[in-house]
Structure 1
Amino acid sequence: MHVQEDSVFCAIVAGEAEASVVFEDDVVVAFMDLGAVTPGHVLVVPRVHAVGLEDLDEDTGAHVWRMGHRIGRALRRSGLRCEGVNVFLADGEAAFQEIFHFHLHVFPRFQGDSFRIDADWATRARHLLDSEAGRVRMGLAEIS
């Protein structure tokens, strides 16, 4: 896991870097993504520095997702081209996280836009799913 104390997001949250802010409160700042997938691409960033899910407390995480939900709804009402909405979290390098300050992407989707997720969507055997479910239950037990 990356240990990055300061990020461009820390500077934005502190008001030390420019950002086109959509929403802010005492927990999060939501602003337009400079590297937008589509026009209207918003990042929801907690004020507290956390690298990823493992570092973020659940109450702050729930607020990030609540605001992501609200911004997704707002995008549909914004007048921007929006035939759908993606809410996307990249947690760790293997998941394509590039800025190591937790953030949630919320962006409009439309026919012919450039966003792609390429994966092998093959059906998994039930015994594998049951085994994997057991492993996740073990992980949940460690958190509780």
Structure 2
Amino acid sequence: MVGEPQDDCLFCKIAAGQIPADVVRETETTVAFRDIHPQAPTHVLVIPKVHHPDAASLAAAEPGIAADLLREAGQVAGDEKLESYRIVFNTGSGAGQTVFHAHAHVLGGRGMQWPPG
């Protein structure tokens, strides 16, 4: 069922504390942790504790939690003292999504070029 933890989901297991992560923030609805393959000096993932396959699905089903996710991404950037940063949502394997649990990448600490990739 959408929204419920999935037994085969890496991020559901991290949210439940079953798999360790370098957690930098946690709220009632979100967990933020450092990416194990950082693409910038600061690379933190912010995930909802509920399972939805991507950001659009999360926003459609639970807009309040989607707002929490964005608010926490901003808090992470502030905690990391980032003056400039990027928040990225990848949707689908063609866009680089490898874990199909909604999540935001908070990237900073270096210049970001446009267009990306």
TM normalised by structure 1 equals 0.66
Structure 1 Cα separation of the partners of residues 43 and 31 of structure 2: 14
Taking every aligned residue pair, what percent have the same amino acid on both sides?
Answer: 32
Match of 1:121 in 2: none
Q: Which ranges of structure 1 fall in alignment gaps of 5 or more residues?
A: 77-81, 119-144
CA contact 2:43–2:108 (8 Å) conserved in 1: yes
2:112 aligned with 1:104, yes or no?
A: no
* Count of aligned positions: 107
**Amino acid of the structure 2 residue aligned with 1:28:** T
Q: Which ranges of structure 2 fall in alignment gaps of 5 or more residues?
A: 1-5
Runs of 4+ in structure 1 off by over 2 angstroms are none
1:1-144 equivalence runs, <5 A: 5=6, 6-56=8-58, 57-76=62-81, 84-111=84-111, 117-118=116-117
Q: Which has the higher contact order (CA 8 A, sep 6+)?
A: 2
State the SS of the aligned residue for 2:47: strand
TM normalised by structure 2 equals 0.80
CA contact 1:22–1:30 (8 Å) conserved in 2: yes
Can you list the C-alpha shifts for 1:11-35, whole angstroms capped at 9, x where unaligned? Answer: 1111110101001111000001001
CA contact 1:27–1:60 (8 Å) conserved in 2: yes
